[in-house]
């Protein structure tokens, strides 16, 4: 809505922007001592209309996280699940994600955590295996076909 105005822009879009700009004018609707506080956010600040930018007295730019912050985001997202990642692995992940936002890291981490579920959904045949416990008893476990068996089935 607040992007820079362009030549081919629809008339109704221009009217909405003009009305919004009028409403944002200082003193436009301050009868009775009421004040309006506006908080806005964007992922593309370079595309904002200059007229809108002038109406905001304070502008705070939040950059993407640095390497250590990215590593900490990975640690926090993976804290609730079992993993075998070392500190070196977290640092390598952080380095590989240069320029990524915290949201990007969150999405890719959630996607990675769901990968075992996707593999289970794709398994067509289950095998029941008997595993010997160290105390002499047996336990039953379910497992999907081994990769070689999956290739043979296809």
Distance between CA atoms of residues 144 and 124, nearest Å: 8
Contacts of 77 (CB under 8 A, 6+ apart): 105, 106, 109, 110
The pLDDT profile of the chain, 154 residues, written as one tens digit per residue, is 677 777 777 888 778 888 877 777 766 555 666 666 777 777 777 888 888 888 777 888 888 899 999 999 999 999 998 889 999 999 999 999 999 999 999 999 999 999 888 888 887 776 666 665 555 555 555 555 555 544 455 4
Encode burial over 71-82: b for 16+ CB neighbours within 10 A, e otherwise. Answer: bbbbeebbeeee
pTM recorded for the entire structure:
0.54
Q: Which residues have C-beta within 8 Å of that of residue 142, sequence separation ≥ 6?
A: 126, 127, 128, 129
Distance CA 126, CA 108 (A): 29
- Find all residues with CB under 8 Å of 101, minimum gap 6, and list them: 64, 65
* pLDDT on residue 55: 79
Which 8-state DSSP code applies to residue 102?
H
């Amino acid at each position: 809505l607040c992007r820079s105005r362009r030549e081919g822009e629809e008339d109704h879009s221009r009217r909405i922007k003009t009305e919004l700009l009028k409403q944002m004018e200082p003193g436009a609707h301050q009868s009775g001592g009421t004040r309006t506080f506006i908080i806005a956010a964007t992922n593309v600040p370079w595309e904002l209309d200059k007229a809108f930018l002038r109406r905001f007295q304070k502008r705070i730019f939040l950059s993407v996280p640095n390497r250590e912050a990215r590593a900490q985001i990975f640690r926090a997202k993976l804290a609730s699940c079992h993993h075998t990642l070392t500190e070196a692995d977290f640092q390598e992940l952080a380095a590989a994600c240069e320029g990524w936002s915290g949201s990007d890291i969150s999405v890719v981490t959630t996607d990675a955590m769901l990968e075992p579920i996707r593999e289970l959904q794709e398994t067509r045949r289950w095998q029941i295996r008997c595993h010997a416990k160290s105390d002499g008893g047996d336990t039953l476990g379910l497992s999907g076909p081994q990769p070689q068996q999956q290739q043979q089935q296809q």
